[in-house]
Each structure stands twice: as structure tokens, then as C-alpha cells.
Chains A and B, each alone.
Chain A
Amino acid sequence: MQKLGDFKLPHFFNYPPYFTLQPVRETREKQVQLWKELILDYCRTQKIFVIGLEEEFPLFSNSVIERTLSHEAREAFLSALISEGRAEWLDKGHRRCLILWHRIQDWADIILNFVKDNGFEDSVMTVEEIRSGIESRGTELHGIDRTILMRALKLLEQKGKLAIFKGTSADDEGVKFSV
């Protein structure tokens, strides 16, 4: 099996027609399904949060069989993820796409567990600390995309689990947990 780093690629990745958007509806549905799973799997294992449609992305082409996904195909696969709440466009031009292998709600739950595990129920942390502090090392929160983290924090704020307060710059936004 072909590999990308330590990621095992599925068989269909080596089958040329999967790189062409299929015209027949049922065949296309199956094709889209396989690509959705592949994109989510890959992003989860490689900790990729944003895919740029016009940028190089290892899954968008396969040099072994000399096939590349067209822009239309890329957009179709990502749109399918979006319709399931597993991705979001970051811009109106559909050039950058946020990949949510955990939904925002799931990320919020992960944050809550992190808070409880570390006894931060009434503590104050900066957003940067959550992303790259010692406490989050080895957890899924380490290195999380800032946009996703802020969305999850805001969701928790709405539920009254924490309060976000602003510092003088974006770098020192803080969070006061009250779990």
C-alpha cells in the first residue's frame, strides 16, 4: 500500500477514475463518500486544520498514477464535508476550508475534559496557553487551530462555562473557567 509519511492510503487512491468527478449520480455518491473519509482521516492523523484549495495538498494529487483533482472536484468533496458539519469555508471565494474532524461541539467537550482533568475549574488561562502550554501537551488541544479553539470557547461561553476577556492584543486573550 502506498503511504504518505506514516499515513496509509486507501486502495482507491491509486485507481485513476477516482480523480475524475463521476458523472453518474450513484457512482459519484460513493466516490464522494470515500474522499470525505480520506480527507477527514488524513487531517485528523496529520493534525491539519485548514486546506487551501489552490495550494499543494498531498491528497489532491497522486504522482504514482499521474492524476490530480480538478478544482471542481476539490470543491465538491469539501462541500460534501461542509454539508455534514465537518468543514466550513473560511472565505466567500471558497479558497480556504476549515476541517472539523471533531465538530465544534466535540472540541468544546474536549476542552471541558481538559479543564476537569487538570483541576482548572476556577482558573484563568490565556488562549495561547491552551494551544501550546505544558498542560495541553500530549492532548488533542495541543496545536489546535486558533479559529476552531475560539469557536469552541465561544460556544462554552454561551453555555456559561467560561468567560472570555480581551487583553491589549489578540495574543493575550484570556479565559476564566467556571465549570
Chain B
Amino acid sequence: MRRRPGIGGLQTAAAARDQYRLLGENVAKLRTDLMKEQLATFRSQLEEFARKHKNDIRKNPSFRSQFHEMCAKVGVDPLASNKGFWAELLGIGDFYYELGVQIVEICLATRPLNGGLIDLQELCKLLRQKRKHDREAVSEDDCLRAISKLKTLGSGFEVILAGKKKLVRSVPTELKKDHNEILELAYSTGYVTVDEVERRLTWTHGRAIDALDTLLDEGLAMIDDGHADGKHRYWFPCVSSISSFGADN
């Protein structure tokens, strides 16, 4: 179209822009409304689902973990607030707060023995012993969730990985990669020797000694010089769970 000169042309162009904008807004609004509607439907469905399977969510740890996963995918956090609909419906917030408190208690009680590092499985075991009056089972997933909530308190609770194993740290010690690798190595027997660390991780003598000494200083390792071969063994209470260390196990 040939561009017409003059004020009339400018007005027409402005009017057309307005029309486009209006149309665009309408389309956007329609889409948002539709989206809102869908979300509302979804939410009510999720609520209905939660209500229907309330008991399963409470009693069955693996069901609970899958429910959490589903919630996370649609951006709902049942633990975000204790006052919300979810908490009222499921009492799920209280459940995790209680777990959190018990986890803190266990970590504090075992700290003198393990230096503030405890194997997740061991923690779960102690947690179940502590809650044996409770019929509701507790899974590792529940523990991890409760711990992630503790993190917001800034108390330094954290889950660290030593290979495939998960350890829960309740002291502010910063563990370096070297230390994690030693812990991972210790998982099979409960202890390591300096030789073993040098050989298996192909480290220098100095590096091995340095890392092991740090672990000793932090109270995470204990030394044992009583073995017949005369080699010092470094034991890690957090991986060999001394509470279950006995002839009956």
C-alpha cells in the first residue's frame, strides 16, 4: 500500500496499532484465564487426590515420596508453610518438623562418638528406634526432606556424599574432596591405613597423612595401633556405626 502523506495517514497508523494491541491483550487474557482455570482444576484434583489417599501418604513412605515428587513437578511445596491447606489436610508439616527435631537430637547425642558425621542409614535406624511407638514408617527420603528443612535454620545441617553413601553432617566442618574420598574408601571395612590411601587413591604420603590428620583432629577418625601387623589403622565411627558394632549384629 502506498504510504499516504499527511495527518490522516498518521492517525490511521496509530488506530491500527491500537487495534493490534487490543487484540493481543485479548488473546493473552484468554490464554491466562485458560491457564488459571487449568491450574485451578489441577490443584483441586491434587487436593482431591491427597484427600483420597491421605492415609497412604501418611503411612506409606514410598507413596509419600512419590507424592512429594509429583508436588515438586507442579511447583507445590506441601512443607512450605504449616498453616496452609496441605498442613491442615495431611498434618504433613508437623510430621517433618517432628522428624527434624528428632534428627537434631540424635545428631547431638551421637556427636561425641562420631564427631558430628553420621551415616544416613544409621541415622534412619536410630530415628526408627526413637519413634518405635509410632506406627508411621520413616524412610530415608523423609529424613532427607526433614534435613533440607533444617538447613533453612542455618544450623549447618547438610547431607554430603561419599561415593554412593550419604552422610549427614551436623558440625560446621568443611570437608574437602580428599576427606570424602577417604571416607568412601573406608566404607567397606570401617578403617583405612596410610598405605591403603596412598595405593588406592594414588596420593603422595604427605597428602594422605595430611588428610588423615585433619580427620583425626576433627574427631571424625580414631586411631588404632593394636593390630598385629603394626600398621596404624584409622577408623571412622561415622561409617562403621559403633552403635551397631557388636557380636550380635
Q: Which residues does A use to contact B, with CB under 8 Å?
A: 1-2, 11-12, 14-20, 22-24, 26-27, 30-31, 64, 66-68
Contact = CB atoms under 8 A, between A and B. Distances in A.
A67 B225 CA distance: 9
A91 B118 CA distance: 44
B94 interface: no
Nearest to A13: B246
B224 A19 contact: yes
B63 to A, nearest CB: 35
A54 B65 CA distance: 58
A17 B240 CA distance: 12
B129 to A, nearest CB: 14
24 contacts: A1-B247, A1-B248, A2-B247, A2-B248, A11-B244, A12-B245, A14-B245, A16-B191, A16-B233, A16-B235, A17-B222, A17-B223, A19-B226, A20-B222, A22-B222, A22-B223, A23-B223, A24-B217, A24-B219, A26-B219, A27-B115, A27-B219, A66-B227, A67-B226
B93 interface: no
A20 B245 contact: no
Contacts of B112: 30
B100 interface: no
B113 A30 contact: yes
A18 B191 CA distance: 13
Which of A14, A16, A18 has the most B CB atoms < 10 Å from its CB? Answer: A16
Interface residues of B, number: 25
Contacts, number: 64
B219 A1 contact: no
Nearest to B111: A30
Given A11-B242, A15-B242, A27-B219, A20 B226 contact: yes
A24 B247 CA distance: 28
Nearest to A31: B222
A51 B248 CA distance: 29
Given A19-B224, A20-B225, A22-B223, A2 B216 contact: no
Given A14-B247, A15-B245, 18 more contacts: A1-B246, A2-B246, A2-B248, A11-B246, A12-B245, A15-B222, A16-B233, A19-B226, A20-B225, A22-B222, A22-B223, A23-B216, A24-B216, A24-B219, A27-B115, A30-B112, A66-B227, A66-B228
A91 B177 CA distance: 52
Nearest to B242: A15
Contacts of B217: 24
A12 B242 contact: yes
A28 to B, nearest CB: 10
B62 to A, nearest CB: 31
A64 B227 contact: no
B82 interface: no
| Best-surrounded residue of B216, B226, B243 (most CB of chain A within 10 A) | B226
B246 A14 contact: yes
A69 B213 CA distance: 23
A22 B221 CA distance: 10
A18 B192 CA distance: 16
Given A11-B244, A11-B246, A24-B219, A17 B228 contact: no
